[in-house]
């Protein structure tokens, strides 16, 4: 049940996860071990020597071929120390205080502009409005021309939404709307086959337009560096300064990771946070009356909605976890949606409480792979809801939310609201 993407079009099966967690916090599901308890999830994530990201990648389904496995292993998400630490360290250096400070200021301005554009209409699809903020932020991070930013919308749709018929074939960008750089990428964008299927987006062959754009933009930034994070990172490509070098292939895969993961998580987290508030109008009014509660409200949105529902590791040796024997080579999948509702950690875990403290959620992961973009994600959530509270006041649902068909991303395709 917890792997059936159709289930998630009706909502995350929290009751079923809780039942499984009570019966056995480490339980066999299909061909993997599902880790459901908060403490066990943290234990797995902080021990890469026992639970590897590299061996089989971080997705439940195995790559189709050894070549595909080699491809995903080049991504930072699927690396183990020391390779992961080297690449993460270089990327951290690229996020200079100056770059982050400029981003924070711009994010607050964009959020107000996005809400101001719809304020007079009295209604909007909040999922569509919210989708633009992470795109604008990532365009700034990479120094991508603003008119090209919706390329990332289509890329993340195809990768994250491969189980959803609408998202798997996403192609909303037209050649006349974008730069020459983007037009060259669109020329190699894949199209559905005779049966309507698309190539596997986890392979290089499945995302040729993304890689064409990454390579061309990277070369441009190397020749014409700016103040953006990409330009900072390009300074390390092919050099041995500052503790290491970034290979071109690694750089391209970092672009993939940020364009997809950095976009999709916030794109679902923002409307998910709004739905949490709309489902609990007393908490909405509480926040409206006391803006000092906003930072805590954001943490509770992240816990209660949990955009990324699970990640996989692979056992490197025989190990015992919560009295369960796990063999070397077996898949171990940490289930964030369950850990964030663990009653042994969170009092009344199904209750949405913007004043909840402490709030030790694992939405951004734990250990060496803790989300590098967590701070920027928090900034975007705070900026968007600050703008909503200031410019719209109290809002309400104006129709049925439409959920993404996915067992990986807790997503909203549509969230109609009015005020």
Per residue in 264-320, pLDDT (tens digit) is 889 999 999 999 999 999 999 999 999 999 999 999 999 999 999 999 999 999 999
With a pLDDT cut of 90, the percent of the chain lying above it is 68
Q: Please give the pLDDT value at position 320.
A: 98
Q: Answer with the residue of higher pLDDT: 259 or 303.
A: 303
Whether 379 is covered by a domain: the verdict is yes
Whether 194 is covered by a domain: the verdict is no
Give me the CATH number covering residue 324.
1.10.630.10
| Residue partners of 343: CB distance under 8 A and separation at least 6 | 18, 349
Contact 57, 72 (CB under 8 A): yes
Whether 241 is covered by a domain: the verdict is no
* Residue 413 three-state SS: strand
Q: Please give the pLDDT value at position 260.
A: 83
Q: Answer with the residue of higher pLDDT: 352 or 103.
A: 352
pLDDT at 127 over 90: yes
> From the CB of residue 303, how many other CB atoms can be counted at a distance below 10 Å?
23
Whether 176 is covered by a domain: the verdict is no
Cα gap 61→72, rounded to integer Å: 12
Contact 192, 198 (CB under 8 A): yes
Contact 312, 320 (CB under 8 A): no
Per mean pLDDT, which range of 68-72, 209-213, 393-397 is the poorest?
A: 68-72
Using pLDDT thresholds of 50, 70 and 90, give the confidence band for residue 141.
confident
Whether 186 is covered by a domain: the verdict is no
Whether 169 is covered by a domain: the verdict is no
Number of domains in the chain: 1
pLDDT at 87 over 60: yes
| Residue partners of 327: CB distance under 8 A and separation at least 6 | 315, 318
Contact 316, 49 (CB under 8 A): yes
Residue for token digits 């890469």? 48
pTM score, whole prediction = 0.92
Cα gap 60→142, rounded to integer Å: 30
Whether 189 is covered by a domain: the verdict is no
Beta strands in 341-399 (DSSP E): 396-397
| Bond preceding residue 82 cis, omega within 30 of 0 | yes
Domain limits for position 330: 5-145+260-418
Cα gap 396→239, rounded to integer Å: 53
Q: Please give the pLDDT value at position 236.
A: 63
Average pLDDT taken over every residue of the chain: 91
pLDDT at 388 over 90: yes
Whether 306 is covered by a domain: the verdict is yes
As a dihedral over the C-alpha atoms of residue 410, residue 340, residue 74, residue 155, rounded to 10 degrees, the angle is 20
């Amino acid at each position: 049940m917890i792997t059936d993407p159709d289930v998630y079009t009706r909502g995350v099966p929290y009751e079923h996860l809780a039942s499984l967690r009570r019966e056995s916090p480490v339980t066999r599901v299909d061909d993997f071990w599902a880790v459901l308890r908060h403490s066990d999830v943290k234990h797995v994530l902080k021990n890469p020597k026992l639970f590897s990201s590299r061996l089989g990648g971080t997705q439940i389904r195995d790559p189709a071929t050894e070549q595909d496995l080699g491809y995903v292993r080049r991504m930072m998400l699927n690396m183990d120390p020391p390779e992961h630490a080297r690449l993460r360290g270089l990327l951290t250096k690229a996020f200079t205080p100056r770059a982050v400070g400029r981003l924070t200021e711009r994010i607050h301005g964009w959020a107000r502009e996005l809400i101001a554009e719809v304020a007079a209409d009295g209604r909007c699809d909040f999922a569509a409005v919210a989708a633009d903020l992470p795109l604008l932020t990532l365009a700034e991070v990479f120094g991508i021309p603003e008119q090209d930013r919706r390329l990332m919308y289509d890329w993340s749709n195809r990768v994250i939404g491969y189980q959803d018929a609408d998202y798997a074939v996403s192609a909303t960008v037209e050649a006349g709307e974008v730069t020459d750089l983007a037009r060259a990428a669109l020329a190699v964008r894949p199209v559905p086959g005779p049966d309507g299927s698309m190539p596997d987006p986890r392979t290089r062959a499945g995302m040729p337009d993304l890689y064409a754009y990454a390579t061309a933009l990277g070369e441009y930034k190397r020749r014409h560096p700016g103040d953006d994070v990409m330009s900072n990172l390009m300074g390390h490509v092919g050099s041995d300064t500052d503790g290491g070098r970034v290979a071109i292939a690694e750089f391209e895969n970092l672009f993939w990771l940020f364009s997809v993961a950095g976009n999709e998580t916030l794109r679902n987290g923002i409307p998910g946070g709004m739905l949490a508030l709309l489902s609990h109008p007393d908490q909405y009014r509480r926040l409206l009356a006391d803006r000092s509660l906003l930072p805590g409200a954001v943490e509770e949105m992240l816990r209660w909605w949990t955009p990324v529902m699970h990640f996989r590791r692979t056992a490197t040796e025989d190990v015992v976890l919560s009295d369960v024997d796990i063999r070397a080579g077996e898949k171990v999948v940490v289930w964030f949606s369950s850990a964030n509702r663990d009653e042994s950690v969170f009092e009344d875990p199904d209750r949405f409480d913007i004043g909840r403290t402490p709030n030790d959620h694992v939405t951004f992961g734990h250990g060496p792979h803790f989300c590098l973009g967590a701070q920027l994600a928090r900034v975007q959530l705070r900026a968007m809801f600050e703008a909503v509270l200031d410019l719209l006041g109290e809002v309400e649902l104006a129709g049925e939310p439409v959920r993404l068909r996915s067992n990986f991303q807790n997503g909203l395709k549509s969230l109609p609201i009015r005020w």
